[in-house]
Amino acid sequence: MRIHVLGSAAGGGFPQWNCNCRNCDGVRRGTLRATPRTQSSLALSGDGTNWLLCNASPDILAQLRAAPFLQPARSLRDIAIRAVLLIDAQIDHVTGLFMLREHRQPLDVWCTDPAREDLESGNPVFRLLGHYAGVVPRRIPLGGEVFMIPAVPGLAFAAHALTSNAPPYSPRRDRPVPGDNIGLEVTDLSSGRQLFYAPGLCEIDTAVADAMQRADCVLVDGTCWRDDELIALGISKKRARDMGHRPLDGDGGMLALLAGLPGSTRKVLIHINNTNPILDEDSAEHRRVRDAGVEIAHDGLEITL
């Protein structure tokens, strides 16, 4: 399995267009040792030819330009992406679908029932795309039931409902239902090796804990360092946990959780918010993550399992 990180930042990207926090200002001015990042997306393939786009970020066009292997140029209009899978219906994970409207045929979009509901009502991307290439919604089952995506051979998938939050625009915001967010298990059918991917991960039930224990690589929520990170900066009244993101630091933080996984597991943080001090490569927080044997995803990172 090839896992290609197209975008490693949370919503807003890094630097965020209107943000002058220490990180955004510093990376813009070149006074901070840090790497710009685009918004949350992965490309996955079992055979290196047929790719699944996991989340379609607002930065998809720039991400495709930066990933030439996704444009094999076999015909006048072509792309190696054979299907899209959505982890949730958040703006940073679905807006890129609009950019794919010139697709030659309707796009196969795999999502859960609640995500589909949002994409047909509150944020009716599917309805709008009906006026362009169109969408064929494909249902992601929950509860760890294994499913295949025929257009992307060699991989098996299983989704776990996460206790997180529905998108800010959703009628279910702060009253989420199972399937508003998922953690995804992907197994390479030839090597048997497994990925666990959850860019938004807060509560961890036994099914998710088990999936993380058996994974060879976990690519998980690295949004905020502290639970009150946005409050302390005066940017928001919400805690990271209120938004469905487990902070990295502290008792029960993501780093403590990752420390409980086997030593052989590759541990990678993704969906990193621009305010997170780990983005500053000279910070104590960056060093703590690296010293814990945890990687910080960057755009273009490729993992082979």
Q: Which 8-state DSSP code applies to residue 264?
A: T
Shortest Cβ 78–ligand MLT spacing (Å): 30
Where does residue 105 rank: exposed (0-12), middle (13-18), buried (19+ CB within 10 A)? exposed
Distance between CA 164 and CA 40 in Å, rounded? Answer: 17
Q: What residue 63 binds from Mn ion, Zn ion, ligand MLT, none (CB within 5 to 8 A, per partner kind)?
A: none
Shortest Cβ 72–Mn ion spacing (Å): 30
Among 4, 43, 86, 92, binds Mn ion (CB under 5 A): 92
Shortest Cβ 141–Zn ion spacing (Å): 37
Among 1, 5, 9, 10, binds ligand MLT (CB under 6 A): 10
Distance between CA 27 and CA 15 in Å, rounded? Answer: 7
Where does residue 37 rank: exposed (0-12), middle (13-18), buried (19+ CB within 10 A)? buried
Among 1, 9, 19, 195, binds Zn ion (CB under 5 A): 19
* 90 part of the interface to ligand MLT, by CB under 6 A: yes
Give the angle subtended at the CA of 65 by the CAs of 224 and 105, to the nearest 5°: 100
Piece in contact with Zn ion (CB under 5 A), picked from 9-17, 160-168, 241-249, 276-284: 9-17
Piece in contact with Mn ion (CB under 5 A), picked from 11-19, 111-119, 131-139, 242-250: 11-19
Which CB atom, from 93 or from 286, has the smaller least distance to ligand MLT? 93
> Nearest CA to 129 among 101, 148, 154?
101
Which CB atom, from 80 or from 272, has the smaller least distance to Mn ion? 272
In the shown chain, the binding pattern of residues 99 to 138 toward ligand MLT, with x for contact by CB under 6 A and - for none, equals: ----------------------------------------
Shortest Cβ 18–Zn ion spacing (Å): 9
Q: What phi and psi, each to the nearest 5 degrees, are found at residue 10? A: -80, 180
Q: How many helices (H) and strands (E) does the chain have?
A: 10, 14
Tokens describing residue 118? 């949002």
Q: What residue 279 binds from Mn ion, ligand MLT, Zn ion, none (CB within 5 to 8 A, per partner kind)?
A: none
Piece in contact with ligand MLT (CB under 6 A), picked from 43-51, 86-94, 136-144, 202-210: 86-94
Give just the sign of the alpha carbon dihedral 252, 257, 259, 260: positive
> Three-state SS across 155-192?
EEEEEEECCCCCCCCCCCCCCCCCCCCEEEEEEECCCC
Per DSSP (E only), the strands in 142-280 are: 146-147, 155-161, 182-188, 194-198, 217-221, 266-270
* 91 part of the interface to ligand MLT, by CB under 6 A: yes
Q: What residue 24 binds from Zn ion, ligand MLT, Mn ion, none (CB within 5 to 8 A, per partner kind)?
A: Zn ion
Site residues (vs ligand MLT, CB under 6 A): 10-11, 90-92, 200, 243
